[in-house]
Amino acid sequence: MLTRRLFVSVPLAALVAVLTLSALTAKADDWRKKFPTIKYGIISVETQVDTMKNQDVFLKEAKKELGVPVELFTATEYAGIVNALATGQIQLGWLGASSYATTWLDCKCVEPLVGAQDVKGAMGYNSVLIVKADSPYKSYEDLKGKTVARNDPHSTSGFTVPTVEFAEMGKPVDKYFNSPLSGGHQQTIVGVLNGTYDGGFTWTTPGDGFGAIRKMIDKGLLKRDQIRVIWTSPMIPTPPVVIRSDLPPQMKADLEKMFIRLVRVNEAAADAVAQGKTLGLQRVYHEDYIPIIKAKQWLKQQRKKGG
């Protein structure tokens, strides 16, 4: 009798385990019911039309991997993506380090998920000061009193980093140069090429793997020998794909898995996320962006002081 009871109880226990696992799996998949469409915001480094076109390969691959449509959300200004994340209009977004810092400081409701690795293996990029190659300017000192464009107050490489770095050198950007805001990286580069600006701050990686310079080259709007870099910042943490912190844990895990394996299943889709060539997307963390958060806090204090 004892033997018979044991024999019967084994398949019953197995059945209970299967049913429990099935219930847990179904529960884990519930995020798709709450989010039948994922909204992905992106700070554009080009025109909105070009952004929509270039992100199409990623959107299709993401839908295939996640099982739900991924809808692109764009804005003409960085603040549009920052506000959309903070208010929950979108669930994830591709931001610069400074825009992530702004969003986190405003709402504490986001966290970085992944970032792109450049073609040389680094997890970062640089702010650079560019001039026309045929200009007489060989160093940033040559541009003192000249017109040097910054980008947007939420731009890491086009505003935050050069503003802080030059202040630390005792050469505040808005006093050392005439420093108007161009409104975007492409506008800065075009302005330098056509002579509107004597110089301008933008972003790139070593070897121009991704960034604004790479985008302009790929679009046929810039030949690399038309510009010269005369100042380079220390490395900035790579632009993160940011998610809302209140997303379901399984949804976060599925998004992370999708992004990290992207380069293996669809290299073009990974490049679209990186805005250029990448070795792949890697996990990043809030701690990686603390230096930029501190820089944003410093800028805020300076504005309060009127400095």
Q: Where are the domains of the chain?
A: 34-119+238-293, 124-237
Residues 249, 244: Cα–Cα separation, whole Å:
11
Q: Which CATH architecture has domain 34-119+238-293?
A: 3-Layer(aba) Sandwich (3.40)
Asked whether residue 88 carries a pLDDT value surpassing 80, the answer given is yes
**Is the pLDDT higher at 190 or at 6?**
190
- Quote the tokens at residue 256: 């992370």
Cβ count near 305 (within 10 Å): 7
Kindly give, in sequence order, each residue whose CB lies less than 8 Å from that of residue 83, ignoring residues fewer than 6 positions away.
89
Cβ count near 29 (within 10 Å): 14
Contact 189, 202 (CB under 8 A): yes
Q: In CATH terms, are 34-119+238-293 and 124-237 the same topology?
A: yes
Write down the pLDDT at residue 250.
Answer: 97
- Average pLDDT estimate for 130-153: 96
Q: 3-class SS at 201?
A: strand
pLDDT bin (cut points 50, 70, 90) of residue 46 is low
Asked whether residue 125 carries a pLDDT value surpassing 60, the answer given is yes
Write down the pLDDT at residue 240.
Answer: 97
Asked whether residue 259 carries a pLDDT value surpassing 60, the answer given is yes
Phi, psi (rounded to 5 degrees) for 17 = -60, -40
Kindly give, in sequence order, each residue whose CB lies less than 8 Å from that of residue 233, ignoring residues fewer than 6 positions away.
126, 127, 128, 157, 161, 162, 165
pTM of the complete model: 0.81
Assigned superfamily of 124-237: Periplasmic binding protein-like II (3.40.190.10)
Residues 39, 103: Cα–Cα separation, whole Å:
17
Write down the pLDDT at residue 29.
Answer: 60
Write down the pLDDT at residue 152.
Answer: 87
Q: 120 burial class (0-12, 13-18, 19+ CB within 10 angstroms)?
A: exposed
CA distances (Å), origin 132, targets 46, 129, 146, 152, 153 = 20, 11, 14, 21, 24
- Average pLDDT estimate for 56-75: 95
- Quote the tokens at residue 21: 């696992």
Write down the pLDDT at residue 28.
Answer: 47
Asked whether residue 14 carries a pLDDT value surpassing 60, the answer given is no
Write down the pLDDT at residue 303.
Answer: 83
- Quote the tokens at residue 234: 């220390």
List b or e across 204-224, with b for residues whose CB sees 16 or more CB atoms inside 10 angstroms.
bbeebbbbbbbbbbbeeebee
Q: Going by DSSP bridges, is the β-strand pair 124-132/199-204 parallel, antiparallel, or unpaired?
A: antiparallel
E-only strand ranges, 16-109: 38-42, 70-74, 92-94
pLDDT bin (cut points 50, 70, 90) of residue 307 is low
Cβ count near 51 (within 10 Å): 19
